[in-house]
Amino acid sequence: MDTINSSIPWSLIMPIIVLQLILAVVGLVSLYKAEAIRGPKWLWVIIILCGNILGSVAYFIIGRKDAS
Amino acid sequence: MRQFLLFFRKEMLEMGRSFKWLWVPLVFLMLGIMQPVVTRFMPVILESSGNMPKGMTITIDPPSGMEVMAQTLGQFNSVGLMILVLSIMTLISGERQSGVSQMIFAKPVSYLSYAAAKWAIMLSLVTASFVLGYAGAWYYTVQMIGSVETAAALKAALLYMLWLWFTGSLTLFMSSLMNSAAGIAFVSLGAAILLSMASTWLPRYAYSPGFLPEISVQWLQASEKPTGDLGAAILCLMCMIFFFMIAAYQVKIRKSNV
Amino acid sequence: MTRTLLQVRDLSKRFREREVVKGITFSIAEGSCAALLGPNGAGKTTTIRMLTGLLQPSGGSIKLLINGSPTTDRRPYIGFLPQMPVFYPWMTGAEFLLYAGELAGLTNREAKRETGEWLEAVGLRDEGKRRIGGYSGGMKQRLGLAQALIHRPKLLILDEPVSALDPTGRKDVLTLLQRIRRETTVLFSTHVLHDAEEICDEILMIRSGAIALQGSLEHVRRTHSEPVIRLEVGEDEASRSWLTAACSKNFVIHSEVSGRRAKLRVENVEQASLALMADAASRRIMIRSLEAGRSTLEDLFLKVVQS
């Protein structure tokens, strides 16, 4: 494992993790502020937290109701 | 022109408030970065998964930088294309369906400005997302895999962006014709996939916008440089203008639905 | 002297085989308030959408006369509030008004000033900074009025402005309309006669796409009201059969009976009521109530709608 760890350029991997975090946080903030969404909020919280980027993307595409 | 700016400003605001300006470019950036990263660590991942018979070594030829860039375009052409279509599909149909368009079009507004603002916002979103994603892929490929030939990569990017513009225009065109969001997404994605698949069956002299992704991949990979890019690009631009004109006309004759 | 503002001739609309509006002709004088009155499905919304330019008529002409001459583009002079208006839920009320004002051709500065004024006028001064997504139906209706009026149109067209509101919201909007109609010519559609009577001076009754009746409220009231007697008797069998018998007396022109109540149209109210009372007394029938009067607009409306 040591060889793997040392061979991973963490400075390049970190941005990916940060990006995922940003997407998840933005998704959660938008969910918190949203007045109308499809489906229960708690379900979307789980999806956003567990679904990596796909979870957040799914929320933005399916969960948000843009027109009222 | 004044009305175009008013409409465009409203579209910008809407895309900002619905977080589209954030998540669509971010998803493209992720798509772009992931390909070189996954490629780089594939041997490590396979090794550590550990279900190899003892003594067997895997020899994967490490792909070149250009190959990884080509694979990234492949990612854009599946997940990226879907994200793109889904994020803009209701741009025209949504307002007609909800009924806001009744109030807008009862005012002395220009339909051409209205449609032009829709096109402008679509092109902005597509361009920003693609440029960000491609730049990310380029940087990571150079850092982790190997060198990328600048001229070829730029040319490939330009041709591929045209293809995304075409798909975006097609989606807006469908959005002006149809009401159901699912229908718009299905037809637009279906047509785009069919067009790009058809490029492998069609003879080379048939210029189709569907050739564009194929041609840009070839610019990155093939030893001999592809032909027919100019024809496909011109036809693509002509299709976009055609889609725009029809959509503007549709907006004029179908001002609302309710 | 009043000038004509809107002149509609033989206006018709056909959706495939179905003719929804069948050649209606009317005109609206400058400064008046007209109600387009009719039951649901009579063609009110279709007519209104043709007037605003949202729908292309199949036939006929619509002329908006500005300073006596017809305009080619009516839209700058018309303010329109659709039935149950929809906005962008992500915009604030003030942002929407500003947007609507600028789209209607006001400069940014004018639009800003008008936005402030109209938010105040429709009672949304504080709510103007909030997102429309959180507005109630009544607030949306008032915001809708503001966006229709922001460019000071000559003609304000409203589609069922109070039908979907609760009593408070309805009262708010009607009060606003009372004020607006002093400055602007108003045309609004409704299926509730009461709303029309409250603020209008002209009515246009339409039924299945054709005009059934039109004129000033006073004129219609005068020419179409008829002498009527309303009778109510007791629950018992004898009273009821007397009521039925009373309907076939020779002085009764037309009658409607429902349970122990009856409405009788007669030639002469005084003679008829005396005769009815005498008859009832001689048969020892209790008359609970007898009202001698004239038919109301409500009766006329029901007659027009049902016939």
User: B24: domain range?
Assistant: 2-253
List the one residue out of B187, B81, A45 whose CA is nearest residue A59. A45
**What's the mean pLDDT in C160-180?**
87
Among candidate residues B196, B12, B239, B199, the one with its CA nearest the CA of residue C91: B12
Question: Would you place residue C304 in the very low, low, confident or very high pLDDT band (cuts 50, 70, 90)?
Answer: confident
By the CB < 8 Å criterion, does C135 face chain B? no
Tens-digit pLDDT string for chain B (258 aa): 899 999 999 999 999 998 899 999 999 999 999 989 888 887 777 777 666 666 666 666 778 888 899 999 988 999 999 999 999 999 999 999 999 999 999 999 999 999 999 999 999 999 999 999 999 999 999 988 888 888 889 999 999 999 999 999 999 999 999 999 999 999 999 999 998 888 777 766 567 888 888 888 888 887 677 777 888 889 999 999 999 999 999 999 988 765
C4-15 and C18-29: which strand pairing?
Answer: antiparallel
Give C-chain residues touching A67 at CB under 8 angstroms: 86, 89
Domain contains B92 = yes
In whole angstroms, give the CA distance from residue B200 to residue B204: 9
Q: Which residue of A has its CA nearest to C89?
A: A68
For residue B106, give the nearest of C78, C84, C99 by CB distance.
C78
Write the single-letter amino acid at B208.
Answer: S
> Could you identify the residue written with the tokens 């990226």?
B80
pLDDT of the residue at B50: 63
* Domain presence at residue B106: yes
* Interface contact B98, partner C, CB < 8 A: yes
Contact between A67 and C89 using a beta-carbon 8 Å cutoff: yes
Cβ neighbours of B26 in A, within 8 Å: 19, 22-23, 53
Q: State residue C219's pLDDT score.
A: 87
3-state secondary structure chain A: CHHHHHHCCHHHHHHHHHHHHHHHHHHHHHHHHCCCECCCHHHHHHHHHHCHHHHHHHHHHHHECCCC
What pLDDT does residue C172 have? 86
The tokens describing B195, both together, are: 């067009």
CATH architecture of C225-306: 2-Layer Sandwich (3.30)
**Residue C196 CB neighbour total at 10 angstroms:** 25
Nearest in space to B173 (alpha carbons), one of B257, B82, B245: B245
**pLDDT one-digit tens code per residue, B31-46:** 999 989 888 887 777 7
For residue B79, give the DSSP letter.
Answer: I
> DSSP string spanning B148-192?
--HHHHHHHHHHHHHHHHHHHHHHHHHHHH---HHHHHHHHHHHH
First to last CA, chain A: 53
Considering the domain boundaries, does residue B258 fall inside one? no
C80 in contact with chain B, both atoms CB, cutoff 8 A:
yes
Domain enclosing residue A49, as ranges: 35-68
Q: Which CATH class is domain C32-52+71-222?
A: alpha beta
Domain total for chain A? 1
| pTM: predicted TM-score of the whole model, two decimal places | 0.87
The closest alpha carbon to C23, from C4, C41, C50, belongs to C50
Of all residues in chain C, the percent with pLDDT exceeding 90 is: 45
Rounded to whole angstroms, the Cα distance separating C228 from C255 reads 9
β-partners of residue C26 are C8
Please name the helix (run of DSSP H) or strand (run of DSSP E) that holds residue C246, with its range, or none.
helix C237-247
> Could you identify the residue written with the tokens 């006669």?
C193
Residue A2 has pLDDT above 60, yes or no: no
Based on the structure, what is the number of domains in chain B? 1
- Domain parsing of chain C, residue ranges: 32-52+71-222, 225-306
